[in-house]
Amino acid sequence: MRISVIGAGYVGLTTAACLAQIGHDVFCGESDEKKLSTLQACVMPIFEPHLQRIVKNACSAERLRFGSTEQAIGWGDAIFICVGTPPLANGDADLSALEAVARMIAKQASGYRLVVEKSTVPVQTGAQLRKHLSVHSTNGLKYDVASNPEFLREGSSIEDFLHPDRIVIGVDSPRPEKILREIYQPIVDQRFDCPVHTSCPRHSRPTFLVVETASAELIKHASNSFLAMKISFINMVANLCEAVGADVTEVATGMGLDPRIGPAFLRPGIGFGGFCFPKDVQAFIRIAEKSGCDFSLLREVEKINQDRIGRFIEKLRGEVWVMRGKKIAVWGLAFKPNTDDVRFAPSIALIRALLDEGATVSAYDPQATEKSKLVLPNISYCENPYEAAEGSDAVLIVTEWEQFRDMDWRRLKSIMARPLILDGRNMLESKQVTSCGFRYVSIGRDLVLPPQNGLSANEVHYRSAALQKSWSDSSVVSLD
């Protein structure tokens, strides 16, 4: 089928590449000319495993091409809108890019088109889109609007697209359902040339769930908010573990064995980040508020997450005492491993707080250095983790990149000013590093007896609150 994808961000690029991979004829439209010429040269503007290879192959086979939004609108029978919906100051999603694309479709397209909203949008956006297309249509356009939320995780988006647990579509008539079934049939049957696995293991057929448009829209926000709630929940349990001398890993393992709870998203740490959870939780709170529902449960989820960095810094202060003049090594800048994305990354608020307190920071990340430089110009960026740690008073593990698991710990100890590791992701085993002479501090696994350093629990909380502004300012680079 001829398919258009509008917007070449994480979601759009993955969608375009994977739809081409499963045999469709895809045109991806992008309005940013610089990004467009990069893509036309087959260079990816983001780091995402497998993406470059799939795009290159699909372009050579002439199943994928890049061009302007206008050209894309002229191409497909189905148009997937994948433009950015960044947060406004009040937490609402900014739908101006989506509205502009809808207006262009209404004015330029003729005949029948299926318009699919794939960007994460507030409930009832589908209804607005229908209205907008009808108001601005000038060429006798006949159309349907469907919602098809994405559940792609950065760093494994290709795999998530091709081997999903579920495909959700929101429709209000049989025709768009039929078209979307046809588009996704190779994935439902798991019948395509898999670019990820050399001998692709048999994956189970995903559930193809057909619901009302508004329900599909809610499924996306509710899913992300629920996952964020799980993370904040385990982070609070970690606080409690620290207070009473329990081990959060053991507690999470025990909880996760209950199939109603499950083990996923129970990893404690310095908090969730990225361009999805923080903005989606905020947007969901606003959606509920506007509909007269008080979802203050999610406000607490946000607050717990924002407190994570303050608590982590408090742990560091407990170890190094005075922060001014200390050299702190930060390992990991991306909001999670296998991506170069630093939007709303905990590393940014953390580093800003360290700088504010007079520490100097040397950082290393295998992928996110260039993007971090745009938001954090005043720190040293290093070629490897050892260079960052040289002469430092502490190493902070902020992103759990696999390479940090297996370091030459003796070498590391010999080059640091003081052998101290604070593990913000609980990725190391205490014995592994303490046996080499390190002091090792992690999350929810060390007993903290208040008051520490003369700070009461309330003061710790107060300092965390002061970090919230810096946290909410931490996304300035828009990549969608």
Q: Which of 117, 144, 150, 480 binds ligand UGA (CB under 6 A)?
A: 150
3-state secondary structure of 253: helix
Q: Distance (Å, rounded) from C-alpha 5 to C-alpha 69?
A: 9
Q: Which of 19, 218, 231, 395 binds ligand UGA (CB under 6 A)?
A: 231
Active site (catalytic) residues: 276
Quick one: which segment of 43-51, 105-113, 151-159, 408-416 binds ligand UGA (CB under 6 A)?
A: 151-159
Measured from the CB of residue 298, what is the shortest distance to ligand UGA in angstroms? 15
- Please tell me whether residue 367 binds ligand UGA under the rule CB under 6 A: no
Q: Are 311 and 460 in contact (CB under 8 A)?
A: yes
* Residue from 80, 48, 58 nearest 193 by CA: 58
Q: Distance (Å, rounded) from C-alpha 283 to C-alpha 279?
A: 6
In eight-state DSSP terms, residue 154 is: T
- Please tell me whether residue 80 binds ligand UGA under the rule CB under 6 A: no
Measured from the CB of residue 273, what is the shortest distance to ligand UGA in angstroms? 4
Measured from the CB of residue 228, what is the shortest distance to ligand UGA in angstroms? 7
- Please tell me whether residue 329 binds ligand UGA under the rule CB under 6 A: no
Measured from the CB of residue 153, what is the shortest distance to ligand UGA in angstroms? 4
- Please tell me whether residue 340 binds ligand UGA under the rule CB under 6 A: no
# chain residues binding ligand UGA, by CB under 6 A: 21
Q: Are 372 and 365 in contact (CB under 8 A)?
A: yes
Measured from the CB of residue 334, what is the shortest distance to ligand UGA in angstroms? 9
**For residue 77, how many other CB atoms are within 10 A of its CB?**
15
Q: Which of 152, 388, 397, 460 binds ligand UGA (CB under 6 A)?
A: 152
Query: Per CB under 6 A, which of residues 156..195 are in contact with ligand UGA?
Result: none
**For residue 391, how many other CB atoms are within 10 A of its CB?**
11
Q: What x-and-dash track marks residues 417-446 binding ligand UGA by CB under 6 A?
A: ------------------------------
**For residue 384, how many other CB atoms are within 10 A of its CB?**
10
Q: What x-and-dash track marks residues 245-274 binding ligand UGA by CB under 6 A?
A: --------------------xxx-x--xxx
- Please tell me whether residue 401 binds ligand UGA under the rule CB under 6 A: no
Q: Distance (Å, rounded) from C-alpha 63 to C-alpha 78?
A: 15
Q: Distance (Å, rounded) from C-alpha 340 to C-alpha 338?
A: 7
In eight-state DSSP terms, residue 480 is: -
Q: Based on CB atoms, which residue is closest to ligand UGA, 176 or 269?
A: 269
Measured from the CB of residue 175, what is the shortest distance to ligand UGA in angstroms? 27
Q: Based on CB atoms, which residue is closest to ligand UGA, 21 or 85?
A: 85
Q: Based on CB atoms, which residue is closest to ligand UGA, 335 or 364?
A: 335
Q: Distance (Å, rounded) from C-alpha 277 to C-alpha 282?
A: 8
Q: Based on CB atoms, which residue is closest to ligand UGA, 265 or 295?
A: 265
Measured from the CB of residue 346, what is the shortest distance to ligand UGA in angstroms? 7
Q: Based on CB atoms, which residue is closest to ligand UGA, 162 or 412?
A: 162
* Residue from 3, 4, 1, 11 nearest 51 by CA: 11
- Please tell me whether residue 13 binds ligand UGA under the rule CB under 6 A: no
Q: Which of 113, 336, 371, 445 binds ligand UGA (CB under 6 A)?
A: 336
Q: Based on CB atoms, which residue is closest to ligand UGA, 30 or 154?
A: 154
Q: Distance (Å, rounded) from C-alpha 14 to C-alpha 183?
A: 15
Q: Are 447 and 245 in contact (CB under 8 A)?
A: yes
**For residue 61, how many other CB atoms are within 10 A of its CB?**
10
Q: Are 110 and 141 in contact (CB under 8 A)?
A: yes
**For residue 253, how many other CB atoms are within 10 A of its CB?**
12
- Phi and psi at residue 158, in whole multiples of 5°? -65, -45
- Please tell me whether residue 276 binds ligand UGA under the rule CB under 6 A: yes
Q: Based on CB atoms, which residue is closest to ligand UGA, 144 or 341?
A: 341
> Which CA distances in Å does 426 have to 73, 397, 421, 445?
47, 9, 11, 9
How would you label 276-291 residue by residue, b for 16+ Cβ within 10 Å and e otherwise? bbbbbbbbbbbbbeee
Tell whether omega for the bond before 451 is within 30 degrees of 0, i.e. cis.
Answer: yes
- Please tell me whether residue 349 binds ligand UGA under the rule CB under 6 A: no
Q: Which of 120, 147, 362, 464 binds ligand UGA (CB under 6 A)?
A: 120
Residue ranges binding ligand UGA (CB under 6 A): 120, 150-154, 224, 227, 231, 265-267, 269, 272-274, 276-277, 280, 335-336
